Structure 1
């Protein structure tokens, strides 16, 4: 039987792809979709260096490989630029989230995970001060076109930096303070740069999924897969088993139990090998709630190539983020 789009995705998004032929995979559909979903760099590397081409068409490999080359160069430029900007900054506690944190911590090669922008969690009192500091490095305020919820967006024309404050809302500042208290230093970027602890990073990623109504690139589900399974391909701050009790306790305090259930259920469908880790991490919900989330979010989002917007997306966002 010819590999489906989902089969092809699973093979080419693996850090240890199974050997075999992908000659009859749906390449016309997969290539454009994978590029749009941020999956092309990892797929290109797997095809070229792990699977000896897997009988894939040359045109598909060429297109994916060009994206991989560009991703490597772009990531290095953005991360080196970030280091140069913050390396000597002292007296702050700034948390790097999202792609910039993931590219080096959970992916075997920095080029596998495109870094389109840099997301940082800062204390509300540091928004103006750090924005002013960035302005000395040619960063200017920009409109938040993606409706990310960031307190400030700045760009130097090459890299956008999103500054988030009160990430859980003004009523849960104590929980946000806990994120800062548990954060781990990222010394290579200087004394002011930190990364959220593993359980906090999982929940911050889940929060992003929910706020975007699960209209996120599928690469984000690869991020979550690696966080939930302990980033076993690496030896980083995220390479350890999840503290399941702490994860569930924080999800309840952050009012993210529904979103955590939803995101975990999606990665279980996409990556069956995560079933044991997902089952242990999934928060307890009423059966009716589980069935509703499965029908309205998990099932439609888990279909590759779907371009539809979830019905009642705004209402779902409020439901999933406890608003």
Structure 2
């Protein structure tokens, strides 16, 4: 029996794998995939897989060239941002600054730092440290900018090349005690000096789910790869996130942070996109009412898992409030 052509979802799964199967991209929809993958932050990893793991995977030359140029740009951009950041903060002492999100994941979840685009740096700190750290960055040409993305950051600064979002009440003003717990549990990032830390594994999962919910799940699909690796213990890396989830701790914090619905939704999306994650992800699902699960599956999980969708979900503001406990 003849094999069917690869769908857009099949192509995504193959090219987002850290161990892609050979011969699975016959008839792949390159016209639909390439531009969509670039927007979704998937191009660097896809380009590497095509060129170095799949023998180009029968992709047309134009698709390879376009993806490869994004890969090379991502490597250069990440190195520029992160090396410059290390130069600035490496000697800073006496602070506890937590690097969150893409910059924290690029070197702990991905086999190459260039695979995970880092559009900006996200940092969590005590509220009293925000102005002091912003002042420190001002000595390195970082100036305040408006929070045009409505990220919830306490302050946003930029030197014209790198945007840094400074967070204090990352969980909202009513959950400062829980936010303080993130700082207390954070793990050292010695490569960036004595003052830099990254979130503990369970906190990283919840912060990722919270970001998904706050953005109405209109997030780059590379973020679902982040969550895939967090949930499955970053087995390719042997680093701080390379361990099984502490499910009781995760569910307890999800309840305290009122993020159980967001956690359910993000884990359910990852399970649908990457069926191999089902054992770990399903074990970490919060115990929601059946009606709530069905609502989230129908209004969020299903639509989000359709690749190629470029617009936010209809009525997402109402669902966003539901997901974030507002």
| Same topology, TM > 0.5 | yes
Tell me how far apart the structure 2 counterparts of residues 126 and 251 of structure 1 sit (CA, whole Å).
Answer: 26
Aligned residues: 323
String of CA shifts for 1:52-98, please: whole Å, max 9, x gaps.
Answer: 01111111011100110111111111000110110111111000001
Query: Residue 21 and residue 197 in structure 1: after superposition, are their counterparts in 2 closer, same or farther (change >3 A)?
Result: closer
Contact kept, 8 Å, 1:260 with 1:283, in 2: the verdict is yes
Tell me how far apart the structure 2 counterparts of residues 169 and 321 of structure 1 sit (CA, whole Å).
Answer: 10
String of CA shifts for 1:170-228, please: whole Å, max 9, x gaps.
Answer: 11111111111110011110111000100000000111000000000000000000000
| Unaligned runs of at least 5 residues, structure 1 | none
Tell me how far apart the structure 2 counterparts of residues 122 and 314 of structure 1 sit (CA, whole Å).
Answer: 28
Q: Map residues 73-112 of structure 1 onto 2, 5 A cutoff.
A: 73-112=76-115
User: TM-score scaled by structure 1?
Assistant: 0.99
What secondary structure does 1:154 align onto? strand
Moved more, 99-108 or 312-321: 312-321
Contact kept, 8 Å, 1:23 with 1:57, in 2: the verdict is no
Tell me how far apart the structure 2 counterparts of residues 198 and 309 of structure 1 sit (CA, whole Å).
Answer: 29
Indicate whether 1:175 and 2:178 are aligned. Answer: yes
Contact kept, 8 Å, 1:44 with 1:61, in 2: the verdict is yes
What secondary structure does 1:153 align onto? strand
Q: Map residues 28-107 of structure 1 onto 2, 5 A cutoff.
A: 28-107=31-110
Structure-2 residue corresponding to 1:117: 120
Q: CA deviation at 1:21?
A: 4.7
Structure-2 residue corresponding to 1:161: 164
String of CA shifts for 1:281-315, please: whole Å, max 9, x gaps.
Answer: 10100000000000110000000001232122222
User: TM-score scaled by structure 2?
Assistant: 0.98
Indicate whether 1:140 and 2:143 are aligned. Answer: yes
| Runs of 4+ displaced beyond 6 Å | none
Tell me how far apart the structure 1 counterparts of residues 227 and 283 of structure 2 sit (CA, whole Å).
Answer: 15
Equivalent of residue 215 in structure 2, options 212, 216, 234: 212
Q: CA deviation at 1:146?
A: 1.2
Tell me how far apart the structure 2 counterparts of residues 53 and 308 of structure 1 sit (CA, whole Å).
Answer: 31
Tell me how far apart the structure 2 counterparts of residues 258 and 168 of structure 1 sit (CA, whole Å).
Answer: 15
Equivalent of residue 261 in structure 2, options 258, 261, 267: 258
String of CA shifts for 1:135-181, please: whole Å, max 9, x gaps.
Answer: 00000111112111111110000000001111111111111111111
Tell me how far apart the structure 2 counterparts of residues 316 and 192 of structure 1 sit (CA, whole Å).
Answer: 38
Contact kept, 8 Å, 2:14 with 2:24, in 1: the verdict is no
Structure-1 residue corresponding to 2:275: 272
Contact kept, 8 Å, 1:104 with 1:110, in 2: the verdict is yes
Tell me how far apart the structure 2 counterparts of residues 129 and 54 of structure 1 sit (CA, whole Å).
Answer: 51
Tell me how far apart the structure 1 counterparts of residues 35 and 314 of structure 2 sit (CA, whole Å).
Answer: 25
Structure-1 residue corresponding to 2:192: 189
Tell me how far apart the structure 2 counterparts of residues 101 and 75 of structure 1 sit (CA, whole Å).
Answer: 12
Contact kept, 8 Å, 2:6 with 2:24, in 1: the verdict is no
Indicate whether 1:224 and 2:227 are aligned. Answer: yes
What secondary structure does 2:107 align onto? helix
String of CA shifts for 1:224-281, please: whole Å, max 9, x gaps.
Answer: 0000000001011001000011000000000000000000000000000001011111
Tell me how far apart the structure 1 counterparts of residues 25 and 268 of structure 2 sit (CA, whole Å).
Answer: 27
Structure-1 residue corresponding to 2:316: 313
Contact kept, 8 Å, 1:21 with 1:55, in 2: the verdict is no
Tell me how far apart the structure 2 counterparts of residues 149 and 10 of structure 1 sit (CA, whole Å).
Answer: 32
Tell me how far apart the structure 2 counterparts of residues 143 and 70 of structure 1 sit (CA, whole Å).
Answer: 26
Tell me how far apart the structure 2 counterparts of residues 163 and 19 of structure 1 sit (CA, whole Å).
Answer: 43
Tell me how far apart the structure 2 counterparts of residues 165 and 294 of structure 1 sit (CA, whole Å).
Answer: 32
